[in-house]
Amino acid sequence: MRLSQFFLPTLKETPTEAQIVSHRLMLRAGMIRQQAAGIYSWLPLGWRVLQKVEQIVREEQNRAGALEILMPTIQPAELWRESGRYDDYGKEMLRITDRHERDMLFGPTNEEMVTDIARASMKSYRDLPRNLYHIQWKFRDEVRPRFGVMRGREFLMKDAYSFDVDAAGARHAYNKMFISYLRTFARMGLKAIPMRADTGPIGGDLSHEFQILAETGESAVYVDRGFLDLDFADFKVDYDDVAGLQAVVDRFTSFYAATDEKHDAAKGAELGDRLVSARGIEVGHIFYFGTKYSAPMGLSVQGPNGEKIHPEMGSYGIGVSRLVGALIEANHDDAGIIWPASVAPFDCGVINLRVGDAACDAMAKDLIARLEGAGLDALYDDRSESAGAKFATMDLIGLPWQLTIGPRGAKAGTIEVKNRRGGAKEELSIEAVIAKVASR
């Protein structure tokens, strides 16, 4: 992609309305534009990152056996009257009336709707277990939308819903999602710590939030230091191995970790100086709530002896759009964003210092063609800007590798490669550059 033809409305000035670094950098790097409080358009650079994040979430959901569907954003109020949540949800729910005066709403979550889908077609215990998920925009009329996409009113969530015949099955479904979350966040280079959490308006009595530690996090959290030393990517997963999964979940819940609503000061004190008090960004939240929706909404299947069973359910959320902000909170420096390779909007940036110079232009063309041949995306800065301006833009938008072509290198057949994280630079041949970028 040529930068001269791309849409990258970067800002030189720091936007005054943004209080935290990820919000500032998303605006400065031209990733998003605010349309109303807590409502954003995603511009090409931001949209690319959002899709990368979404794809990792999707692959790990699929791997854990969840099935992707797509439910609408607009829901009939009727379903929510059946579960009893229509009145409970209060002002956070955006209520709409259609031309026939029917009460509708913009979905803040989909427990009712997925239960309606299940009751129409799941009839026998043989139809279970199932886990259905979608990745869809939600609306919550938050009192204080803030920090950009971190606490939006319209935001992208992955929400999965499991249906099981009994509590043991539901626990296994819960454990699958628990572990798929560890894997999902680890693939993005994030350590998301599972913590016992309150269930709020979703309900149920077993729940974990996944929190990334960051100074700007909205939640106060308390964590055993030992947790921070655990390797979050180091475990094998066989999703059918019930006991094996439980063992991994037990390991990741063996250390003390709680949000302030669940914090037990006495337990914290026992930890002494092992207790870390920090702030966290909640990037995921999982719930087990048994028959809270299946019973009142009349979802039942026939058991092996003809008995009627209300499926045991859980729901599992990931804040997909929030993750983009959280990733920046965890990966930036004074010059801008530093994308982990797995979510970077392009694999690398190519800077041509002498646009119009035949040797430089030819080398850039050759390099980009070879990168593309190796399945790597490059953003090519072919603008006639100063070298300083080009480097500043590349640093700001945070692509993992910066490949700089100048007249001297073009003659010698070398390219200057800078790693955005750490800033190490080296002069390499085209072949070596491709290998480097491909190694991610």
* CA distance to 64, 95, 115, 382, 402, per residue, from 352 (Å): 44, 52, 56, 6, 11
Q: How far is the CB of 22 from ligand P5A (least distance, A)?
A: 12
- Say whether residue 222 binds ligand P5A (CB under 6 A): no
Query: What count of other Cβ atoms lies within 10 Å of the Cβ of residue 279?
Result: 16
Q: How far is the CB of 316 from ligand P5A (least distance, A)?
A: 6
Q: Quick check: 317 and 285 in contact, CB under 8 A?
A: yes
Q: How far is the CB of 42 from ligand P5A (least distance, A)?
A: 13
Q: How far is the CB of 153 from ligand P5A (least distance, A)?
A: 7
Stretch 160-189: interaction string toward ligand P5A, x if CB under 6 A: ------------------------------
Q: Is 137 exposed, middle or buried (0-12, 13-18, 19+ CB in 10 A)?
A: middle
Instruction: Collapse the DSSP code of 334 into the 3-class scheme (helix H, G, I; strand E, B; otherwise coil) and give the result.
Output: coil
Q: Give the interface segment with ligand P5A, choosing from 86-94, 152-160, 182-190, 404-412 (CB under 6 A).
A: 152-160
- Say whether residue 322 binds ligand P5A (CB under 6 A): yes
> 177 or 353: whose CB is closer to ligand P5A?
177
Torsion (CA) 222, 225, 227, 229 in degrees, nearest 10 = 150
> 156 or 410: whose CB is closer to ligand P5A?
156
- Residue from 311, 319, 345, 409 in contact with ligand P5A (CB under 6 A): 319
- Say whether residue 83 binds ligand P5A (CB under 6 A): no
- Say whether residue 390 binds ligand P5A (CB under 6 A): no
Place of tokens 């966040």: 185
- Say whether residue 148 binds ligand P5A (CB under 6 A): no
Q: Quick check: 238 and 180 in contact, CB under 8 A?
A: no
The per-residue b/e assignment along 184-198, b for 16 or more CB within 10 angstroms, e otherwise, is bbbbbbbbbbbbbbe
- Say whether residue 394 binds ligand P5A (CB under 6 A): no
- Say whether residue 141 binds ligand P5A (CB under 6 A): no
- Say whether residue 316 binds ligand P5A (CB under 6 A): yes
Residue 105 to residue 300: CA distance in whole angstroms = 26
Q: How far is the CB of 360 from ligand P5A (least distance, A)?
A: 44
The neighbouring-strand residues paired with 51 are: none
Q: How far is the CB of 64 from ligand P5A (least distance, A)?
A: 15
* CA distance to 17, 48, 222, 328, per residue, from 154 (Å): 19, 18, 29, 20
**Nearest-CB residue for ligand P5A:** 319
Q: Quick check: 214 and 279 in contact, CB under 8 A?
A: yes
- Residue from 34, 315, 393, 402 in contact with ligand P5A (CB under 6 A): 315
- Residue from 30, 46, 152, 194 in contact with ligand P5A (CB under 6 A): 152
Q: How far is the CB of 413 from ligand P5A (least distance, A)?
A: 48
Under rule CB under 6 A, how many of the chain's residues touch ligand P5A?
A: 20
- Tell me the one-letter amino acid at 393: T
- Tell me the one-letter amino acid at 108: P
Stretch 267-306: interaction string toward ligand P5A, x if CB under 6 A: ---------------xxxx-x-------------------
- Say whether residue 131 binds ligand P5A (CB under 6 A): no
- Residue from 34, 61, 109, 211 in contact with ligand P5A (CB under 6 A): 109
Q: How far is the CB of 77 from ligand P5A (least distance, A)?
A: 18
* CA distance to 28, 39, 66, 247, 309, per residue, from 17 (Å): 12, 14, 40, 46, 53
Angle of helix 167-187 relative to helix 242-252, nearest 10 degrees, comes to 60
Report how many helices (DSSP H) and strands (DSSP E) the chain contains, helices first. 14, 23
- The stretches of 154-219 forming alpha helices (DSSP H) are 167-187
Task: Annotate 87-116 with DSSP letters as a single string.
Answer: HHTGGGSEEEE-TT--EEEE-S--HHHHHH
- Say whether residue 157 binds ligand P5A (CB under 6 A): yes
Q: Quick check: 390 and 337 in contact, CB under 8 A?
A: no
> 53 or 157: whose CB is closer to ligand P5A?
157
Q: How far is the CB of 436 from ligand P5A (least distance, A)?
A: 34
Q: Give the interface segment with ligand P5A, choosing from 147-155, 250-258, 382-390, 428-436 (CB under 6 A).
A: 147-155
Task: Annotate 48-70 with DSSP letters as a single string.
Answer: HHHHHHHHHHHHHHHHTT-EE--
- Say whether residue 28 binds ligand P5A (CB under 6 A): no
> 159 or 382: whose CB is closer to ligand P5A?
159
- Say whether residue 54 binds ligand P5A (CB under 6 A): no
Q: How far is the CB of 186 from ligand P5A (least distance, A)?
A: 17
Binding site for ligand P5A (CB under 6 A): 109, 140, 142, 151-152, 155, 157, 159, 202, 282-285, 287, 315-317, 319, 321-322
